[in-house]
Amino acid sequence: MNLRILTQLLVKRQMKQATINLFKKIFATLKPPPNISLSEWADKYRYLSAKSSAEPGKWSTDRTPYLREVMNAITDLQTEKVVFMSCAQVGKTDGLILNTIGYFIHYDPAAIIAMQPTVKLAESFSKDRLSMMLEDTPVLRGKVNDKGRNSGNTILQKNYPGGHVTMIGANSANDLRSRPIRVLLADEIDGYPATAGKDGDPLALAEKRLTTYWNRKEVYVSTPTVKGLSRIEVEFEHSTQEEWNVPCPACGELQPLEWGNIIFDKEKPEEVSCVCRKCGVVSGEVEWKEHFTEGKFIAKFPNRKVRGFHLNTLSSLLCGWNEIAEKFLKANEEKKKGNLELMKSWTNTEMGQVWEEEGEQLDEMALMKRCEKYNCEVPEDVIVLTAGVDTQDNRFEVEVVGWGEGKESWGIKYAVIYGDLKQAEVWNELDAFLGQTFTRADGAKLKILAACMDSGGHFPNEVYKFCKPRWGRHIYAIKGKGGGEVPYYNRPTKNNPVKCPLFTLGVDTGKSILLDRLRVELIGENGEHLESAPGYCHFPREKDRGYNLDYFVGLTSERQIMTYKKGKAVFEWKIKDYQHRRNEALDCRNYATAALEIANPTLKKTDKLATPGASVKKPAGRHRRSKGVI
What contacts 286, CB < 8 A, 6 or more positions away?
Answer: none
Q: What is the pLDDT of residue 101?
A: 95
Q: What is the pLDDT of residue 575?
A: 73
Q: Is 221 helix (H, G, I), strand (E, B) or coil?
A: strand
Question: Sign of dihedral through CA atoms 296, 300, 303, 304?
Answer: negative
Beta bridge partners of 448: 385
Q: What is the dihedral of CA 584, 590, 592, 594, to 10 degrees?
A: -150
Question: Cα 257 from chain centroid?
Answer: 24
Helix 67-74 vs helix 38-45: crossing angle, to nearest 10 = 110
Tens-digit pLDDT profile for residues 527-548: 788 888 999 999 999 989 999 9
DSSP-H helix ranges across 49-160:
67-74, 92, 99-106, 119-125, 131-136
Q: Is 104 helix (H, G, I), strand (E, B) or coil?
A: helix
Q: What are the start and end residues of each CATH 3.30.420 domain in the chain?
A: 364-611
DSSP 429-444: HHHHHHH-EEEBTTS-
Q: Which has the closest alpha carbon to 163: 186, 180, 175?
A: 180
Q: What is the reported pTM? A: 0.59
Of the chain, the percentage scoring pLDDT greater than 70 comes to 83
Q: Which fold has domain 364-611?
A: Nucleotidyltransferase; domain 5 (3.30.420)
Q: Is 331 helix (H, G, I), strand (E, B) or coil?
A: helix
Q: Quote the CA–CA distance of 397 and 239 in Å, as a whole number.
A: 52
Q: Quote the CA–CA distance of 463 and 448 in Å, as a whole number.
A: 18
What contacts 525, CB < 8 A, 6 or more positions away?
Answer: none
Say if CB 475 and CB 451 are below 8 A apart: yes
Amino acid symbol at 553:
V
Q: Quote the CA–CA distance of 519 and 408 in Å, as a whole number.
A: 12
Say if CB 177 and CB 199 are below 8 A apart: yes
Report how far apart the first and last C-alpha atoms of the chain are (Å, whole number): 98
Q: What is the pLDDT of residue 213?
A: 77
The architecture that CATH gives domain 39-241+303-319 is 3-Layer(aba) Sandwich (3.40)
- Helix (H) and strand (E) counts for the chain? 19, 25
Question: Cα 483 from chain centroid?
Answer: 15
Establish how many alpha carbons lie within 13 A of residue 288's alpha carbon, considering only the half-sphere containing its beta carbon. 26
Task: Give the containing element (helix H, strand E) for 207.
Answer: helix 202-208
Q: What are the start and end residues of each CATH 3.40.50.300 domain in the chain?
A: 39-241+303-319
Q: What is the pLDDT of residue 23?
A: 60
Report the 10 Å Cβ neighbour count for 276: 19
Regarding beta strands 268-275 and 282-284, do their DSSP bridges make them parallel or antiparallel, or are they unpaired?
antiparallel
Measured at the CA of 168, the angle between CA 147 and CA 223, to 5 degrees, comes to 115
Q: What is the pLDDT of residue 126?
A: 93
Report the 10 Å Cβ neighbour count for 543: 8
Low-confidence ranges of the chain (pLDDT < 70): 1-12, 16, 18-20, 22-34, 52-54, 145-152, 173, 175-178, 196-199, 338, 357-361, 485, 525, 560-571, 576-581, 606-630
Say if CB 68 and CB 39 are below 8 A apart: yes
